Amino acid sequence: MSKSTATQARPLSPHLQIYRVTPTMAMSIVHRITGGALYFGTVLFALWLLAAATSQAWFDFVNMLFGSILGRLVLFGYTWTLIHHMLGGIRHLIWDTGHGIEKETSTRMAWVTLIGSVALTLVVWVAGYAVRGGF
């Protein structure tokens, strides 16, 4: 049997080359990625708690790993991921109330989410180093 002409003439679904990336679309994608990345960060946090519950040597080893340049970079990324995902969740909560759905407002909220997450991450790390007594 051959296919009918109605099935053959159907338009194809839009693909990524058709869409123009908007701030709202980018923040939606980043929100999903940060949600997945939080699983990895939670495993690191659980490892740290496990080390604290076992022995001083294991705890010192994990602290040494997290205190290295690479470890601090990973922890900085985890902090940003956590804050960015939280702000994205607040943005979605506001949308659930019916506010901020307009195109201009949602674009502005996407930029505020990005800028706010970077600023709050820096504030958390500067405050943490200030409490700790420096770098």
Going by C-beta distance under 8 Å and a sequence separation of 6 or more, which residues neighbour residue 51? 58, 59, 61, 62, 63
Euclidean distance between CA atoms 10 and 133, whole angstroms: 66
59: tokens are 């705890």
Does 85 belong to an annotated binding site? yes
Matching residue, tokens 């053959």 = 8
Euclidean distance between CA atoms 41 and 76, whole angstroms: 11
Residue positions forming the annotated binding site: 85
Residue positions forming the annotated binding site for heme: 85
